[in-house]
Amino acid sequence: MTDGKADQAPDGKDGKKEGGRAARPAARRRGRPPQPEAIEERRKQILAAAIEIFGRRGFHDATMQQISRAAGISVGLIYQYFRDKEDLLHAVISEILDSYLREIPAARATQTEPLERLHAAVRAYFRVVDEHRAAALIGYRESRVLPRARMTEIMARERETTGLIAESVEECRRAGVLQVADPELLTYQLVVYVHAWPLHAWRLEPQPGGEAYIERGMAQLLRPVQPAPEAPPVPSPARRNR
Amino acid sequence: MTDGKADQAPDGKDGKKEGGRAARPAARRRGRPPQPEAIEERRKQILAAAIEIFGRRGFHDATMQQISRAAGISVGLIYQYFRDKEDLLHAVISEILDSYLREIPAARATQTEPLERLHAAVRAYFRVVDEHRAAALIGYRESRVLPRARMTEIMARERETTGLIAESVEECRRAGVLQVADPELLTYQLVVYVHAWPLHAWRLEPQPGGEAYIERGMAQLLRPVQPAPEAPPVPSPARRNR
Amino acid sequence: MTDGKADQAPDGKDGKKEGGRAARPAARRRGRPPQPEAIEERRKQILAAAIEIFGRRGFHDATMQQISRAAGISVGLIYQYFRDKEDLLHAVISEILDSYLREIPAARATQTEPLERLHAAVRAYFRVVDEHRAAALIGYRESRVLPRARMTEIMARERETTGLIAESVEECRRAGVLQVADPELLTYQLVVYVHAWPLHAWRLEPQPGGEAYIERGMAQLLRPVQPAPEAPPVPSPARRNR
Amino acid sequence: MTDGKADQAPDGKDGKKEGGRAARPAARRRGRPPQPEAIEERRKQILAAAIEIFGRRGFHDATMQQISRAAGISVGLIYQYFRDKEDLLHAVISEILDSYLREIPAARATQTEPLERLHAAVRAYFRVVDEHRAAALIGYRESRVLPRARMTEIMARERETTGLIAESVEECRRAGVLQVADPELLTYQLVVYVHAWPLHAWRLEPQPGGEAYIERGMAQLLRPVQPAPEAPPVPSPARRNR
DNA sequence: GATGAATGAGCGTTCATTCAT
DNA sequence: CATGAATGAACGCTCATTCAT
């Protein structure tokens, strides 16, 4: 006997499946499902499993075997939809980026007041990150595994996303409901705050739920820059330098 | 500075290092006495190499072979100082946490004004993160590879670090130089902003150097919470903007 | 069950191991053998195993596992000496080509008479092919697996080998002991006849041993072109040639 | 003829190709009776594709997928006509052997002079090898993949083919137009020379076309054994029919 | 102490083969 | 009859870890 394959126990479970997504046993289908929409469904199915597993173990510790199991299919089938593991990673990141670009504009559209629109945008941003939790981090965490070309493309779309937030900030500024000295930085801080959620939120004492987390953060990040009724806003700390 | 990479220099100095470990069970006796300090130096040497390599390729892509090469020793020798690769990772993270706990108090001690002390603390924090760049991220990025017990210990020390910043914030609040409604959140945002440096800074347009990055961020994060109303703590009223 | 792989017992035996080469159990060595000559020995050991296995099952059916087993070492170790399976194939072919270039000149040097020298050269050529049996075919059989650059290099050395035979033929012609209208073709036929040994010899009825095979072939290939003592074997020498 | 590689064209030869498949459009009917001849046509279609692909990439590198694509059908269908890949290989070899046994006698029948008949036989042999190029080698190259029983059967038919050449040689001997000391060996050398074409011809300097290759070789292989004295040697291939 | 050759489990990936439709 | 999505065994290769020297 050569192998020693081991062959994995069904799953490692972990209790906190969190979203309950993934692992759907997948009707053990066989034969005819090539309907053009079925193929799209398969992709989604695999993608969901990949998001789940990548998110849970990280790109490197995730095995294709685990992903296929989570998707309820065989390993080989994954390779009919994705060139290789790296391609799958790229697809996962793309999927998340697509969510941003889909959800944020939709959320903004539900509001008319500039400040409301900004709030809606950030909340939508946050919701996507929260839904994909750890997976949303993959992009940065494992960025080095992607070839430069793909990285560049991803960063471009990431900037596009950021641009949506920036737009809302700018909208507020123009409307005079926000007195920002450095709009770009404010956008940046909002983005960073959102992304910090899965990574750093444990540091906050009254362990916040996502809802509370985002509201609390926005309140503090945006409040001071709102035209304080009477008092002049930022006094400018200026000089300060080493 | 903010440099990057390089600095292979073991580090050392301080002498006082590690009081506890000094117990040094002797052990391993054979002919050669353990040479107590030589042992400590080897550790440093390996740690430095590990920080370098982990930082550059990430935990998973780093091989023990690469680390040994970077340290100028053989693979086998690493295993005389660290149980396994994971143990080495833990040691790397510990090393960084030690730096925080060493550098931040030292920096605070150089100032007397509360606000100055806070600035100094954050700058010191930032400097450590910057120096270890990518390596500083390892902790979170690869956190899942560490067993829960170690994770808990690390988080505790991380909180200790955060506590140092929180203390300075509190100091400012008590001194009335900062009107924070939510001091804990402010601390959190400072911490997150610092850690975002190696991960998200590329999003900022005028690609900032480390120096500019931290000053710009602190200005915006701290400015609004300073008691602007009557006595502008900072003279120059200047709108300060781009 | 698909395979039928059989999965090999340490060896497939076959009875007619012929040369007894290969498979040497390899002292299960560990630790210090880095003497520069020892490394060369390892290479030889692996090469021998590869020749054996490639020869027996062909490049594609040979597994690295089988080769390592035949060499009495672990798979991993092979990769310390050869980049990958293809590199190993290239090394095997190179090894055989080197043998040609080493053995043929040596054999020619043992004789002084042109015809004797030619005989010696072909016999030496044959001996190398015979020793490596099937493996000698690998080059052509699996040529497509090698990148073009390597193929070109191999063909060049192959031509060099052929050149040695051609030289001997020419020598005979100049000495008047061989009346060849088309020396190049004669060389070609000798080469082809030698290489046909492992591939086609089964077609010959009185299943010939290698010794008999080569003598019989040379006799027929060379006899007619020798200046028949009194009566020129071929009447019209001239015409007919192209 | 004899061309070089390329020929991607689905198949080529025969002309009828393509149109044949069209014949049976209707179909899809359901109750369709097996159509005995249609079945045979499918086999041919698959066989042609297999020869093409096996010839181009070799048995191991050829995938069933590629073959099905080349045949313009689905993978599954191949398995309705051939048990497995190995069975397909066997069929391909059989097909070639059948060609030998069909073409050689036909060619001999076009001539009456013994020497002419031998020439015609070898040329026909060569033509089949040339047409199937690489594929003709498969038998030997991949012989090891076939179970012993099948190998034996193939070798028997191969010998039958060789027997046809041997017969012609014998014919010549009996007719006194060839003075062969070792007729079997001469036959063998002719066979080997023919098979060397796709494998070794690159060694010949004025890279010969197939036509030149075979004539040149036969001239040298047969000339010396012809009773030079009175009878004009080689009947001159010139006329060359077909 | 130090070395680095040696090991082998485990992963990504391919592809012959099956079978529901 | 035909399809091609689905399967999963098996292979090439890597790399953490060991241990004779």
DSSP letter string, chain A: ---------S----S--TT--S---GGG--S----HHHHHHHHHHHHHHHHHHHHHHHHHH--HHHHHHHHTS-HHHHHHH-SSHHHHHHHHHHHHHHHHHHHHHHHHHT--SHHHHHHHHHHHHHHHHHHHTTHHHHHHHTGGGS-HHHHHHHHHHHHHHHHHHHHHHHHHHHHTS---S-HHHHHHHHHHHHHHHHHHGGGSSS---HHHHHHHHHHHHHGGGS--SSS-S-----S---
Q: CA-to-CA distance for B97 and B159, rounded, in angstroms?
A: 10
Q: State yes or no: pLDDT of A97 exceeds 60.
A: yes
Q: Evaluate if the CB of C74 falls below 7 Å from strand E.
A: yes
* More confident of the two residues A57 and A123: A123
Confidence check: pLDDT of C232 > 70: no
Per-residue pLDDT reduced to its tens digit, A187-229 = 999 999 999 998 899 899 888 888 999 999 999 999 755 555 5
**Does residue C65 sit at the A interface (CB-CB below 8 Å)?**
yes
**What integer is the mean pLDDT of D184-200?**
94
Residues B49, B50, B51, B57, Cα dihedral to 10°: 110
**D146 pLDDT higher than 90:** no
- Closest chain C residue to the Cα of D217, Cα to Cα: C185
What is the CA B175 to chain-centroid distance, rounded?
27
Q: Are B137 and B194 a contacting pair, CB within 8 Å?
A: no
B43 touches strand E (CB under 7 A): no
CB–CB contacts below 8 A, A to B: 145
Closest Cα partner for B168 from B224, B228, B114, B106?
Answer: B114
| CB-based contact C196:D192 (threshold 8 Å) | yes
Q: What is the pLDDT of residue A131?
A: 87
- Judge whether D11 is closer than 8 Å to chain C, CB to CB: no
Give the CA C33 to C1' F21 distance in Å.
9
Q: For the packed helices D148-175 and D85-109, what is the interaxial angle rounded to 10 degrees?
A: 10
Distance (Å) from the alpha carbon of D236 to chain C's nearest alpha carbon = 9
Q: A174 exposed, middle or buried (CB, 10 Å; 0-12, 13-18, 19+)?
A: exposed
Residue C103: the pLDDT is 97
Chain F nucleotides reached by a protein CB under 7 Å = 1-21
Per-residue pLDDT, D151: 85
Tell whether the model's pLDDT for residue C6 goes beyond 50.
Answer: no
Look at residue A135 and tell me whether its pLDDT is greater than 90: no
Provide the residue type at B54 as one letter. Answer: F
User: How many C-beta atoms surround the C-beta of residue B216 within 10 A?
Assistant: 18
Contacts of B200 in chain A (CB under 8 A): 140, 188, 191-192, 195
User: Is residue D191 within 8 Å of residue D145, measured between CB atoms?
Assistant: no
C66: closest CA of chain A, how far (Å): 10
Within 13 Å and on the Cβ side, how many CA atoms surround D175?
17
pLDDT of residue A34: 58
Per the structure block, which two tokens stand in for B171? 């100091």
- The count of C-alpha atoms lying within 13 angstroms of the C-alpha of D68, restricted to the half-sphere facing its C-beta, is 15
Structural domains of chain C, ranges and CATH numbers in brackets: 36-82 (1.10.10.60), 84-225 (1.10.357.10)
B1: which DSSP letter? -
pLDDT at residue B184, rounded to an integer: 96
% of chain C residues with pLDDT over 90: 55
Mean pLDDT score of chain A, rounded to an integer?
81
Angle at alpha carbon of residue B188, lines to B186 and B193, rounded to 5°: 95
| Cβ neighbours of residue A152 closer than 8 Å, sequence gap 6 or more | none
User: Which of B137, B179, B200, B215 to mutate against chain A (most A CBs within 10 Å)?
Assistant: B200
Q: What local confidence, expressed as pLDDT, does residue A87 receive?
A: 94
As a whole-number percent, the residues of chain D with pLDDT over 70 amount to 72
The pLDDT tens digits along chain B (242 residues) read 333 333 333 333 333 333 333 334 444 444 445 567 788 889 999 999 999 999 888 888 899 999 999 999 999 999 999 999 999 999 999 999 999 999 999 999 999 999 999 999 999 999 999 988 766 666 565 566 778 888 888 889 999 999 999 999 999 999 989 988 899 999 999 999 999 998 899 899 888 888 999 999 999 999 755 555 544 444 444 444 43
Residue of chain A with shortest Cα separation from B219: A237
Mean pLDDT for the stretch of residues C185-206: 93
Q: In the complex, which subunits touch A with 3 or more CB pairs below 8 angstroms? A: B, C
What average pLDDT does this structure show over C104-128?
96
Q: How confident is the model at residue D133 (pLDDT cuts 50, 70, 90)?
A: confident
Percent of chain A with pLDDT over 70: 73
Q: Give the mean pLDDT of A56-66.
A: 91
Residue D57's pLDDT band, with cuts at 50, 70 and 90, is confident
Higher-confidence position of A137 and D118: D118
pLDDT of residue A21: 38
**pLDDT at res. D20:** 36
Please name the residue of chain B whose CA is at the shortest distance from the CA of residue A206.
Answer: B184
Mean pLDDT of D196-209: 88
With 50 as the cut, is the pLDDT of residue A83 above it? yes
At A136 the pLDDT is 67
CA distances from A121 to A102, A108, A175, A224 (A): 11, 5, 17, 19
- Give the per-residue pLDDT at B34: 55
As a whole number of angstroms, the distance between CA B121 and CA B172 comes to 12
Window from A124-138, B195-209, D64-78, D91-105 with minimum mean pLDDT: A124-138
The pLDDT-based confidence of C120 (bands split at 50, 70, 90) is very high
The alpha carbon of residue A45 is apart from the nearest alpha carbon of chain C, in Å, by: 30
Query: For residues D137 and B47, which has the higher predicted lDDT (pLDDT)?
Result: B47
Q: pLDDT averaged over chain D?
A: 80
Helix A148-175, helix A85-109: angle, nearest 10: 10
Q: C192 in contact with D at a CB cutoff of 8 Å? A: yes
What does the alpha-carbon distance between residue D222 and residue D234 come to, in Å, rounded to a whole number? 8
Window from A72-86, A164-178, C216-230 with minimum mean pLDDT? C216-230
Question: Beta carbon of B33 within 7 Å of strand E?
Answer: no
Chain C residues touching residue D182 (CB < 8 angstroms): 216, 220
Q: Is the pLDDT of residue A104 over 70?
A: yes
Cβ distance of B196 and A200 shorter than 8 Å: no
- Per mean pLDDT, which range of B90-99, B170-179, C131-140, D28-37 is the poorest? D28-37
Q: How far is C35 from chain D (nearest CA, A)?
A: 40
